[in-house]
A and B are shown apart, each in its own frame.
Chain A
C-alpha cells in the first residue's frame, strides 16, 4: 500500500501542547507505514506498553507491528485518541469521607459521567458506520494483537449485536462461514435442541 493512498487517515498531527512537547512513539506497520503517536495514546496499546516497559529501548526507534496494517492502525489510533479524550471528561473520583457538600459536587461528577457516556455512544456509533465486514475483522485482529481491551470489547460487542437474534443461516452468511455439518448431523442437532428452535426472526 503506497503511502500516498492514506492521506486523510494518518491521524498524526502533532498538536502543540502547552508546556512540554508531547512525547511521541514511532510505530511501523506491516505494510511499511510509519506512525508517530502521542505517548499517551500509544500506551493504550498493551503490546506497546509492555514493549517500552520491559525493554530499555529508546523511544526513537520505530517499534515494528508486523501484524497490523496501516489502515487498521490509523483507525485504532483514532479510536484510542478519542477514547482518551472522552475519559478525561470525567474528573477523578472524590474521596471516601465526602461530606454533604462534597456529595453535591459528586453530582456534578455524575453529570460529567453521563455526558461522557453519551459522547462515547455517539462516537462509537459513528466509528463503525462505513466499515465493511472485512475492515471490522481487521480492526478486531489489530485490537487483539495490540492488546487494547476497550476497543476489542467494543468491536466484539458490535459484531455480536449484528447477529443478535438472527438465524443460523444469517450468521453463516455474515461471517462467511460454511456450515460443515452433514445433513444427518444437522438433523440430529435440530432434534437435540428442539426446545431451542422457536422464536428466531426470518432473515
Chain B
C-alpha cells in the first residue's frame, strides 16, 4: 500500500489550541460598507489560520480518493486548482466506483459520460471498476479497450448489458481475477462462462448472484457445470439464488480444488448432507442455503445500516459502509444541530433504494 512520506511541510509552527470553534460567525457585523463577498472572505481567514493545502499531496489524495469516483468528478476537482490536479492523476483512478448514479439520472447529469471520463483518467492503469445500473455493452467495450490490466470487475444490476457484450469484454481482459455480476438479466449461458474461463485463466473469484429466488422448484445445473468445467482456479465462488442441485455442486467441488469460500445462500435445490456436506464443511468460508442474506447487498431494504462490507470487494468505498453508524462529527464553526440534520439527509441520500 501507499507509504506516506512527510514531504511538504517539515516544520509547522507549534499550534495554539484555540477554542475558535466557539466564535460566532458574524461577517456582517464588521465593516458593512464592504461588499458582502469580501466580508465573508475576511471571516474565513480569521477563523482558519492554516489551510489544508498544507497537507502532503498523498494525504490529500487519500482523502479525496475516499469520496468515490462520482463525487470527485462532481465536486472535489472544482474546489481549487491543486485539488483539480490531484484529481487528474491516474493514480486516483485505479479503482473506480460508479455508484449512486441512479440518483442523478433525473438531472442533467449523464452517468455514462461520467463513466467514460473516469476511465479516461485512469490512463490505462485501471485495476478495479464497479458499476451500478448504468453499464451497457458499449461502456464495457470502452473499458476493455483501454484497460487490459483490469483485475476486478463488478457489475451490479446492469440491466442493459448482454452476454455478447460481456464475452467481447472479457476477451480483452486476460488478467481478470475477480468477476462479480450481481443482479442481472444476463442469461449467462454455458458459452459465456466458457468464454470467461478461457480468456481469464487467472480468475480467482466469481460471483453470480440473483436478487430473489423466483422459481423454487426449477432445477438447473447448467451454470454450475459450466463453472466447474471452465474455472478450475477459483478460490471464491458466490452463487446466491442459484438453481443448482447437488449434482452441480458435486461438479464444482470435483473440479475446483482450491475453493476457500463458497456462498450458496438461497440455493434451495442443494441439500448438504452426508459426503457432500462433509466436503463442503472443509471449505473455510461456507454459507448455507438458509443463511441470512440480511447483511447483503442483494436484498437490501431501505435502511442503510447493514454492514455491507463483508459482501463488497474490499476496495469499495470505506465511506459507504460507515453509513449511519457515524452519528457524530468533530466540531467546527457550524452548530452541532446543523451538522446533525445535514448528516442524516446525506446518508439517506446515499442509501440504496430497494
Judged by a CB distance under 8 angstroms, whether A34 is at the interface is no
Of A136, A167, A175, most B-chain CB atoms within 10 Å:
A175
Contact of B104 (CB < 8 Å), options: A97, A147, A198: A198
Q: How many Å from the CB of A141 to the closest CB on chain B?
A: 7
In the complex, whether A177 has a CB less than 8 A from a CB of chain B is yes
Q: CB distance B74 to A125 under 8 Å?
A: no
CB distance from A198 to the nearest CB of B (A): 3
Q: Kindly identify which residue among A100, A134, A157, A196 contacts B15, using a CB–CB cutoff of 8 Å.
A: A134
Known: A164-B346, A196-B73. A138 touches B332 (CB 8 A): no
**How long is the Cα–Cα vector from A181 to B319 in the complex, in angstroms?**
29
In the complex, which residues of chain A have a beta carbon less than 8 angstroms from the beta carbon of B6?
67, 141, 144-145
Q: A172-B80, A176-B44 are in contact. Are A132 and B14 (CB under 8 A)?
A: no
A175: B residues at CB distance < 8 A: 51-53, 79
Q: Interface residue count for B (Cβ, 8 Å)? A: 76
**In whole angstroms, how far apart are the Cα atoms of A168 and B106 in the complex?**
21
Which residues does chain A contribute within 8 Å of B63, judged by CB atoms?
156, 159-160
Task: Please report the C-alpha to C-alpha distance between residue A130 and residue B22 in the assembled complex, in whole angstroms.
Answer: 12
In chain A between 128 and 146, which residues have their CB closer than 8 angstroms to a CB of chain B?
128-138, 140-141, 144-145
Which B residues are in CB contact (< 8 Å) with A179? 79-80
Interface residues of B in 1-52 (CB under 8 A from A): 1, 3-4, 6, 9-12, 14-15, 17-18, 20-21, 41, 44, 47-52
B346 touches A121 (CB 8 A): no
Determine whether A184 belongs to the interface, using a CB cutoff of 8 Å to chain B. Answer: no
A199 cross-chain contacts in B, Cβ below 8 A? 74, 103-104, 107, 109
Instruction: Give the chain A neighbours of B139 by CB distance below 8 A.
Output: none
**Are B59 and A181 in contact (CB-based, < 8 A)?**
no
Q: Does A141 lie within 8 Å of B62, measured CB to CB?
A: no
- B107 contact set on A, CB distance < 8 A: 197-199
The prevalent SS among residues of A at the interface is helix
> Does any Cβ of A come within 8 Å of B327's Cβ?
yes
CB distance B4 to A152 under 8 Å? yes
Contact across chains for A165 and B14 when beta carbons are under 8 A apart: no
A168 to B49, CA, bound (A): 20
**Tier of interface size on chain A:** 35 or more
Compute how far the CA of A71 lies from the CA of B318 in the bound complex, rounded to whole angstroms: 28
- Bound together, the chains give a CA A200 to CA B100 distance in angstroms of 12
Query: Judging by beta carbons under 8 Å apart, are A171 and B14 in contact?
Result: no
- Of A99, A100, A144, A172, which one neighbours B79 at CB under 8 angstroms? A172
B322 at the interface (CB under 8 A from A): yes
User: Are A163 and B104 in contact, CB atoms less than 8 angstroms apart?
Assistant: no
Distance of A98 Cα from B63 Cα, bound (Å): 40
When distances are taken between beta carbons in the complex, the residues of chain A under 8 Å from B330 are 128-133, 135-136, 158
B75 contacts the other chain (Cβ, under 8 Å)? Answer: yes
Which residues of A does B touch, CB under 8 Å?
1, 30-31, 66-67, 69, 71, 96-100, 103, 117, 121, 124-126, 128-138, 140-141, 144-145, 147, 149, 152-153, 156-168, 171-181, 189, 193-201
6 A-B pairs with C-beta separation under 8 A: A132-B330, A161-B319, A164-B319, A168-B75, A195-B108, A195-B109
